Structure 1
């Protein structure tokens, strides 16, 4: 006869795994902010940039495509800050279109 599954234990294990993955994602997002140099912005400015990007992403898929290309390039070069284009004058950033 087969042993019954302990659904409660399995559910608890899955919830714990989800919690660990969420914590890992939060850490990785923080690391991304640091490696891109965005940690030099005030928290308000960083929030504004991200909000603008989210708003722009809804209506301008071509902007998301450009951001994706820049991100891929950034990671392919090892995430070196020196490979960032411009210092805010680049129109492919969150505030540009």
Structure 2
């Protein structure tokens, strides 16, 4: 006889896991802001800089930012 699957329990477990992953990501982003010193900026300035980075179509600028970020993590 086949065991009946509890779809509600499986869905709840997946939702809990997704919630935990999102919380971990938010925590890591906060740690990144603190580690880079960006927490000294006011919220509007930081948000504006991030929005410009996201909207940028300049591949060379993005590559330069990636290289700086990589160097930052290698220093640590």
TM-score bracket for this pair, using the shorter chain length: over 0.9
Gaps of 5+ in 1: 79-97
**Counterpart position of 1:72:** 70
TM-score by length of 2: 0.93
Return the alpha-carbon distance in structure 2 between the equivalents of residues 7 and 44 of structure 1: 44
Compare relative contact order (CA 8 Å, sep 6+) and give the higher one, 1 or 2: 1
Return the alpha-carbon distance in structure 2 between the equivalents of residues 40 and 25 of structure 1: 21
CA deviation vs aligned residue, 1:16-72 (integer Å, no higher than 9, x gap): 10001101111110110000000011111111111111111xx11221111111111
Q: How many residues are matched? A: 76
Matched, 1:41 2:41: yes
Runs of 4+ with >2 A deviation: none
Gaps of 5+ in 2: none
Aligned positions of 1:1-97 closer than 5 A: 1-56=1-56, 59-78=57-76
- Structure in which a larger fraction of residues adopt helix: 2
